[in-house]
Amino acid sequence: MMRQLILLLIFIIISPLLYAIISRTKAFLVGKKGIPFLFNYYTLIKLFRKNVIYSKTITPIFKVAPIINLSAILLVLMFLPLGNLSPLLSFKGDVLFIFYLLTLGKIFMVLAGVDTGSSFEGMGCAREVFFSALGEIVLFLIFIMFYRLTNQLELSSYFVEGKLILHSKATLIPIIFISIALFVILLLENARVPVDDPLTHLELTMIHEVMILDYSGPDLGIIHLTSQLKMFFYAALISNLLMPVTSVMSIVPIIPVMPVTSGMFSVDVILPFSQLIVFTAILISVYVIVGVVESSMGRYQLKRVPKFVLSSLVLVVLATILTWRG
Amino acid sequence: MIDLQVGFLSLILLLNILTLGSSRLKILIKNVAVAGTLVSILPLLFSYPKIAAASVAFAAVMMLVKGFIIPGLLYFSIRKVSDPIEQVPIIGYHISVIIGIVFILLALLISSKLSLHHLPSSPTTLTRDLLFATAISTIFVGLFLLMTRWKAITQVLGYLIMENGIYLLGTIVVGHMPYILEVAVLLDLLVAVMIMGIVLLNINETFNDIDTSLLVARSGSGSRSGMESESGYSKDQQND
């Protein structure tokens, strides 16, 4: 229990550092030096030291939205299994809870964006809601598939037992497909390049960035931190899926075969140190891949984004077909 | 081996759906080239432990024709085409993709209703059903492309995709068809594509576009191109 709490705290603390990997990768690929790894911390500290300026037209929703978003994502992270280790919290049906928590945070950000009365922000909000509605179909199809495999509604069981079942049932291919689909969702939900450009300076083309134009100071810092944590959440989902199963891991003689546990607060598993290293390595490579994708392609036209999401839907459907029976 | 078979089949399915979703003719041709290559290797995978030298040679020829020569010819013929994008299909791209998914599901439904277990190429239930579903949905996708796109080149590609599906169906039913028949079909296909290429260039020269709806006014040349693709198709059917 304690172990997981500490681990989670460590990951929360290093998530800005992980986020910097993306820009470092992008800089490396174009032959630049890039920002220092601690850059995001400097930004956060700078922002937290500043004063807040609010527009006169806003309602209290605008002020509470970043806090609600941050607390939603923090709560979500407690349900996240970290590399074959069961999470801090878990109950029957938590998958739905987690994804509605994420949506709750998003809804408040959208409301705050609309609250400012700026037409640019309203436009960004409409896009954000549209695209995440598309992404939700894919996510829910993924979890329906996992539910079919495991007959359980806990997120942790999907990534611990569900993966074992996936491995035993079919082949490696469904896992690859689902990882790619999840990666598309990661790009979509975190407003990364093929969907949205975080570095854009034109309000007309922004999706996510335009919603937070009116935020300043600590509020902006909270929003940055939230998006870094959100990135970590999705990257960790992918790394959980790609983690080698226990049978593979136990080939290495030092590592004991880990019993698969699920249910509330059942954590008497000693996390082998090497598993954590594997998990972190996969996590970092997910970030690196995001950077590579960003530097190798431009962003899509807005009308092409639904097609991008649809292609991940196709992948999930194929994975479902492959695991249907066999 | 099962991993490889499933991987190939799902790649073919994916390519089909990508073909339904993309508007650029060059991408379409590349997709069809890759799908053709995969389809020609596939029978080798399904007869894996005992592979005859003749079937390897045949797969190589098939790969050369389907993966390189035919797409190369098509690529060559669209180089001079003024507008290499299908602008307004009869059914839009997003809906096409969803219809593609529906095709796959339908094909799976069909394959689960049929009793395929006595067929020769049936290593496991999964790959057998998947192979059948891939074949059926590939044929559907080819027909769909033929029906819903205006550009002559996309229609040729739809015809090629359909041929891929029929070839896959042959792989299921008899392991592989007699080589002489397959070579004949291949030659037919090649000639059909060549003639389509000439027709295409002529359409492009006359109308400065390869949109077949422009041919309505000139029913003579329109029916000719239609006849070519139909004759190739009917021979395929006879082989089955």
Per-residue pLDDT at B55 = 81
Say if the Cβ atoms of A314 and B14 lie within 8 Å. Answer: yes
Q: Which residues of B touch A322 (CB under 8 A)?
A: 6, 10, 126, 130
As beta bridge partners, residue A85 has: A82
Q: Do B125 and A311 touch (CB under 8 A)?
A: no
Of A177, A310, A324, the CB nearest to B94: A310
Q: How far apart are CA A294 and CA A288, in angstroms?
A: 10
The reply to whether residue A318 touches residue B13, judged by beta carbons under 8 angstroms, is: yes
- Which residue of A177, A306, A317 is in closest CB contact with B94? A306
pLDDT beyond 80 at B86: no
Which range, of A78-82, A108-112, B47-51, averages the lowest pLDDT?
A: B47-51
- Tens digit of each residue's pLDDT (9 = 90 or more) over A147-185: 888 888 888 888 776 666 666 665 678 888 999 999 999
Which of A60, A74, A45, A70 is CA-nearest to residue A217?
Answer: A45
Q: Note whether B137 and B106 are within 8 A (CB).
A: yes
Cβ of residue B187 closer than 8 Å to a chain A Cβ: no
Residue B175: pLDDT band with limits 50, 70, 90 = low
Check CB contact under 8 Å for A311 and B105: no
Per-residue pLDDT at B219: 56
Contacting A residues, span 144-203, partner chain B, CB-CB under 8 Å: 170-173, 177
A82 by DSSP, 3-state: which?
Answer: strand
Task: Mark yes or no for CB contact A326/B18 under 8 Å.
Answer: no
- Reply yes or no on whether the pLDDT at B228 is more than 60: no
Distance from CA of A131 to the nearest CA of B (A): 14
The per-residue pLDDT for B38 is: 92
Tens digits of residue pLDDT in B88-111: 788 888 889 989 999 998 998 888
Q: Cβ contacts (< 8 Å) between B18 and chain A: which residues? A: 311
Higher pLDDT, A200 or B12: B12
How many structural domains is chain A composed of? 1
Query: Which comes out higher in pLDDT, residue B169 or A326?
Result: B169
Question: Chain A: nearest CA to B203, how far in angstroms?
Answer: 30
- Name the residue in chain A with its Cα closest to that of B105: A321
pLDDT at B35 over 60: yes
Residue type for A314, please?
A: V
Residue B71 has pLDDT above 60, yes or no: yes
- Among A46-55, B6-15, B44-53, B117-126, the minimum mean pLDDT is found in B117-126
Helix (H, G, I), strand (E, B) or coil at B122: coil
H/E element, A203: none
Task: Count how many residues are written for chain B.
Answer: 240
Question: Per the CB < 8 Å rule, is A326 touching B126?
Answer: yes
Chain A, residues 56-115, CB within 8 A of chain B, namely none
**Residues in chain B within 8 Å Cβ distance of A326:** 124-126, 129
Phi first, then psi, for residue A250 (nearest 5°) are: -75, 0
CA distance A49 to A43: 10
At residue A125, the pLDDT reads: 92
Q: Hey, where are the domains in chain B?
A: 2-239
| Rg over CA atoms, chain A | 20
Q: How far is B86 from chain A (nearest CA, A)?
A: 15
pLDDT tens-digit readout, A49-73: 999 989 888 899 999 999 999 999 9
Burial A162-171 (b: 16+ CB within 10 A, else e): bbbbbbebbb
Q: Which residue of B97, B127, B138 to mutate against A (max A Cβ within 10 Å)?
A: B97
Q: Which domain holds residue A317?
A: 2-324
Structure-token pair, residue A194: 């093929």
| DSSP states along A3-58 | HHHHHHHHHHHHHHHHHHHHHHHHHHHTT-----TTHHHHHHHHHHHSPP---TT-
A307 in contact with B at a CB cutoff of 8 Å?
A: yes
Express each pLDDT in A264-309 by its tens digit.
333 334 445 777 888 899 999 999 999 999 999 888 888 888 888 9
Rounded distance between C-alpha atoms, residue B176 and residue A288, angstroms: 45
Subunit contact B108:A313, Cβ cutoff 8 A: no
Cβ–Cβ contact B107 with A under 8 A: no
* ipTM (interface predicted TM): 0.74
Contact assignment for B104 to A310 by CB distance below 8 Å: no
